[in-house]
Amino acid sequence: MILFRSTIFAIWFAIVTVVIYIGVLPAMLLPRRVMMHASRLWSRAVFFGLRWICGLRYEVRGQVPKGAVLIASKHMSMWDTMGLYLTVWDPAAVLKRELLRIPFYGWYLWKAGVISIDRGGYAAALRKMTAEAKKALAAGRPILIFPEGTRKKPGAPPDYKPGVAGLYGMLNVPCVPVALNSGLLWTGPMGFIKKPGRIVLEFLEPIPAGLKRSAFMATLQDRIETATARLVSEAQQHFATTNES
């Protein structure tokens, strides 16, 4: 049944994506906020399908950050970007530059105001990323970054990249860590399998600005990994209880 529902959702996802991508193409000529609203519409349509086709819901815990703040999130699946984009108002997401080269999808990312980074550019890339982030903060937009740089399966060893510390130090703003358990429910090869249940997205205690690099990285990793392990354990216990009953 899960495989059948996941297949129906894949069809729904494809239809929604094609219809909305074509429908909002004229927004490329309009102000950026029009594309931002169109992106939120797409995410809502995807989540509608997740709920009613796959039985996959989500819950938000903690205080949702607003304004000039850095948000550093665990990354387990494609769901994370959509979930955070819907929950946080108009974030400027830090994404790898290669995504902007994808036809339609990359165009819309650019128009929505993401911050692209060349992961091989080192110091120059960090300076460029910081300049774009400062511009977004000045406009009242939070900055969203996935500090491990790629998706990690539940239980995989953490691998936090130094870019988040460089950005934190240069921006001089608080950092809100984010934990989640999406990798338990949005799973399988290429994320094809969507299991019924509830994804939890949790905003943790903010890390104040001004910490030294090593202290910041240790605090960030500890808070995210501890909370993520807790959320994963909660979900696994729920699955076990459901299967027994």
Query: In terms of Cα–Cα distance, which of 245, 240, 170 is closest to 209?
Result: 170
- pLDDT at residue 243, as a whole number: 62
Global confidence as pTM: 0.92
Q: Which backbone phi and psi does 89 adopt, to 5 degrees?
A: -75, 115
- pLDDT at residue 235, as a whole number: 87
- pLDDT at residue 110, as a whole number: 87
Evaluate whether 40 touches 150 at the Cβ level (below 8 Å). Answer: no
- pLDDT at residue 107, as a whole number: 82
Query: Tokens 């429910």 identify what position?
Result: 185
Contacts of residue 32, Cβ cutoff 8 Å, sequence gap at least 6: 111, 112, 113
Written in H, E and C, the secondary structure of 110-169 is HHHCCEEECCCCHHHHHHHHHHHHHHHHHCCCCEEECCCCCCCCCCCCCCCCCHHHHHHH
- pLDDT at residue 199, as a whole number: 97
* Token pair in block for residue 191: 């994320």
Evaluate whether 175 touches 124 at the Cβ level (below 8 Å). Answer: no
Q: Is 228 exposed, middle or buried (0-12, 13-18, 19+ CB in 10 A)?
A: buried
**Spatial distance between the Cα atoms of 159 and 152, rounded to a whole number of angstroms:** 9
Residues β-bridged to residue 95: 116
**Spatial distance between the Cα atoms of 178 and 112, rounded to a whole number of angstroms:** 22
**Spatial distance between the Cα atoms of 120 and 187, rounded to a whole number of angstroms:** 29
pLDDT tens digit at each of 245 positions of the chain = 899 999 999 999 999 999 998 988 888 888 888 888 888 999 999 999 999 999 999 999 999 999 999 999 999 999 999 999 999 999 999 988 888 888 878 888 888 889 988 766 667 777 888 889 999 999 999 999 999 988 999 999 999 998 899 999 999 999 999 999 999 999 988 899 999 999 999 999 999 999 999 999 999 999 999 999 999 999 888 777 766 54
- pLDDT at residue 189, as a whole number: 85
- pLDDT at residue 101, as a whole number: 82
Query: In terms of Cα–Cα distance, which of 140, 188, 144 is closest to 164?
Result: 144
Query: What's the pLDDT tens digit per position in 125-141?
Result: 778 888 899 999 999 99
